[in-house]
Chain A
Amino acid sequence: AQSVTQLDSQVPVFEEAPVELRCNYSSSVSVYLFWYVQYPNQGLQLLLKYLSGSTLVESINGFEAEFNKSQTSFHLRKPSVHISDTAEYFCAVVSYNTDKLIFGTGTRLQVFP
């Protein structure tokens, strides 16, 4: 069975500072990895995903995540955050032999002016 751990439930940061949201996963088979974002009072939206190939994946709004197989991690980073990045961020995994997207418990990113 797969599982996802997001170590930080909340990450407060000032605007224009860098941020890293941590995600570790556990699985006995190969997995695909996702980051979803949930803005206040909205549904989840895909931010980025790793399927294969280059271990560094980027989103259109400046976030990036790096797949590290040896450390079973998929941390999300942004070099300079904006107020509008305030949201809940969910890491998720799916394996090739299951149809379930397994979510972590989420990290609330709070950006202060």
Chain B
Amino acid sequence: ETGVTQSPTHLIKTRGQQVTLRCSSQSGHNTVSWYQQALGQGPQFIFQYYREEENGRGNFPPRFSGLQFPNYSSELNVNALELDDSALYLCASSLREGGYTQYFGPGTRLTVL
């Protein structure tokens, strides 16, 4: 059983650019959630995808968008990057019909200069 994987590991962008982060969910899972974690803080919920549809969104602007693919992998896209977008971006997968536990990937560290 493979766990949650994310790519890339690290990314450096400049303000105003766009970025795409990728996540492969754990085998057998159909739900993917994305979180943003600033240094020294707990993760903040961005949005969730279930069977390729957005299923809940946190307090993030529309320039944060996502996709889920038929194989349940997912992308997080951020447009018009701002300095405050610098953070660890975490992807978590779960099986909606199998309880509520979410399993996290290693994260992508995004630095915006």
Q: Do A and B bind each other?
A: no
Residues of chain A having any CB pair with chain B under 8 Å = none
